[in-house]
Amino acid sequence: MTKSKAQGPLAGLKVVEFAGIGPAPMCAMLLADLGADVLRVDRLQDAGLGIDRRPEFDLLNRGRRSAAIDLKQKDGVAAALRLVARADVLIEGFRPGVMERMGLGPEVCLAKNPGLVYGRMTGWGQTGPLAQAAGHDLNYIALIGALHAIGGKEKPVPPLNLVGDFGGGALYLAFGICAALYERQRSGKGQVIDAAMTDGAASLAALFYGLFAQGIWRDQRAANILDGAAPFYDTYETKDGKFVAIAPIETKFYAEFLAKLGIDPASLPKQNDAKRWPETKARLAAAIKAKTRDEWCRILEGSDACFAPVLSLAEAPKHPHNAARGTFVEVAGVVQPGPAPRFDRTPGAVQGPPPAPGANTAEGLADWGFSEAEIAALKTAGVAA
């Protein structure tokens, strides 16, 4: 990717990303998709070693360039600080204290660049008793109550890593970065963002904490209107062993759903009679099992019955709605989700495929103010690759 190709509402924003895994790279991907010039600083050890990593499939790294710099050498740290001095935003996802030990902590970076927005992504946060403990998405959403509410009666079920890593992590860091940039327009000052996945996932669960406090959400799985207990908010198996998602919560939508199933509402218990939900669910399951998923699509799709087929990763990009909107795109032969959200005047775009570590060191450093001689010297000294 070259800087001139960038498009989107964030075109012109300069972001330096210190390579990590999970939510921090996704946050950088979101910014890059909307036009930000993101330079990813990868480890020197990962560059040019012939590792079979297939970087083109590491979609969270798409849309930016990679410079491999050895941050264990003082000249590497000095080079990184030059990038920081020209950046609007810094993104890092290490445990608390790692950046400080490398000489790249907030105090040093903000001294170089007082307007810098310094984004920190962790699971537990920069402070607290667990701040230095290892963890992953499942641990973070367990601690804040979300995991307890997800799954069947038997046990909690991991909801992929969508709730902690990406919903509570990457999206909240991206939101925080945009908020800090907006505030910088008034103050002229940057600031540090402590984005913890525990905090973000807890924020995502605000609705349910409100319902629980009100006494209308039971603190157990498969016992509430939105967790699979209600017959009108669940998935059902079809005749061909596939599944459909049914969600007609509102009375008028539920009536339309039953009409299209050919079920007389008078023959069922009242919609919100929770004690008889199992009875209603059995009736609906039997009716839905009588036809294939495609048959139900022809009957229900596009209506107000609140219906959708449960599509696989292979099927979803081919669905007519997704195809019409261009929800999925193909870049360098890889089908992947396109940028979101959408803008009418300054649309975003996948700015390019994910680079291999160090693939753009010379180009990236040059665009960020390094001369050819300086780049050559860094490479000769083994500081950059």
Active site residue 52: no
d(Cα 246, Cα 307) in Å, to the nearest integer? 5
d(Cα 335, Cα 314) in Å, to the nearest integer? 10
d(Cα 305, Cα 248) in Å, to the nearest integer? 6
d(Cα 108, Cα 106) in Å, to the nearest integer? 6
- Eight-state DSSP code of residue 355: P
Six-digit token string for 45: 């050890």
Active site residue 319: no
Catalytic residue of the set 42, 88, 165, 199: 165
Question: What backbone torsions phi and psi does residue 83 show, to the nearest 5 degrees?
Answer: -65, -45
Beta bridge partners of 330: 335
Catalytic residue of the set 136, 148, 194, 294: 136
Sign of torsion over alpha carbons 147, 149, 151, 153: positive
Question: What backbone torsions phi and psi does residue 80 show, to the nearest 5 degrees?
Answer: -65, -40
Q: Report the phi/psi class of residue 369: left, alpha or beta, with left for phi > 0 and alpha for psi in -120 to 50.
A: left
301 touches 309 (CB < 8 A): yes
- Kindly report the three-state secondary structure assignment for every residue of 282-315: HHHHHHHCCCCHHHHHHHHCCCCCCEEECCCCCC
The half-sphere exposure of 30 on its side-chain side, counting CA atoms within 13 A, is 21
Q: Which contiguous run of DSSP H or E holds residue 175? A: helix 171-187
User: Catalytic residues, which ones?
Assistant: 136, 165
